[in-house]
Structure 1
Amino acid sequence: MARGKVQMKRIENTVHRQVTFCKRRAGLLKKAKELSVLCDADVGIIIFSTKGKLYELATKGNMQGLIERYMKSTRAVQIEDTGGRLTLESEEITSLKEEIQLLQKGLGYTFGGGVETMSLDELHALEKHLEVCICHIRSIKMQIMFEEIEVLKNKEGILKAANEYLHGKIQEQNGMFDLPSPMITGFPYPLTIQNEIFQF
């Protein structure tokens, strides 16, 4: 008979929970011993029951020896990681200091200082920084110009609409449909015609 799939949740029945604990604990310890024998591995297992009873297995030596080996191994990894982070941070700090010094020299030159003390590499680096700044300034300048052009186009459209509206009103009042469109300039801001407002 096929066994049903076991749901991974706490067993509420105390007796069933204790039986399952004993069976699975024995199976786990057996598998650990097999792993140690077949693969010549050092395996350590520590288990505490719900009542606090300790069960442990050290396949080679004792548990204290395995714990000491574990502590030494993790301490070495932590030291290595810390050393790597410190090296990266130190390199980053050095790079930032060099960049700050270069920018300070560049600012000094911009405000009248000389460049005779700068090396060729520093001048090349400064040139690249200035090119990036100029490109950024030009990009912002073009964006502002495009926005102003759009505003002017909107105003032009409003003026044309106002002109057509006035021309239509004049034709309605005078009954003259063949007159050319009058040139209307100098609209006040805002333009109000018979309770209608043209904002531009």
Structure 2
Amino acid sequence: MGRKKLEMKRIEDKSSRLVTFSKRRVGLIKKARHLSVLCDVDVAVIVFSARGKLYESCTGSTSRMEHILSRYQKSCLEEEVKEEEKTFQGAGEDLCKRFQTCKELLQTVDRLVEEKNNNNHELPLIEITQLEEDLDAALEQTRSRKTQLMVEYISTLQEQEKKLGEDKEQLEKLIAASEEKQIKEEGLKV
């Protein structure tokens, strides 16, 4: 006798629902493991039960959930940047930056933290990660600008040093010529 086709709707009987959840969760994790082995891919499965209990499985070459999640986040952020680049192409702006200035970025972070404190909810991980990357980029840009300004300042000081050295040489020549002239005049008087 074959299997009975199950209609896709919520199972009303609590005990049947728990049994189905348990069996299908195990089956899902088994299928993920098979996909990983057969196709040589990394697979992560995250399941939260109705009561909020976490079930996770990670298979593949890395076998670390953190590594797969960070790859996923990086991939999502790269896609987001690509979409932004498509949106702003030809606008003559820096396409990779979401914020015009570091000040705007800091204002956004302050606003989000304030909202979190007022609403007692947490920011999504991907949003926090994006803000962290934006802050890193802003910090890198600030450090780069600081380095550029320091190099320009050092260059200006070196030019001033060179000019002062030339002025010093000219003054030393004038002093030497003046001393020679004075010696000759004293020699003529004697």
Q: Structure with the greater relative contact order (CA < 8 A, sep ≥ 6): 1 or 2?
A: 2
**TM-score w.r.t. length of structure 2:** 0.45
**TM-score w.r.t. length of structure 1:** 0.43
Query: If each structure's helix is expressed as a fraction of its own residues, which one has the higher value?
Result: 2
Highest CA radius of gyration, 1 or 2?
Answer: 1
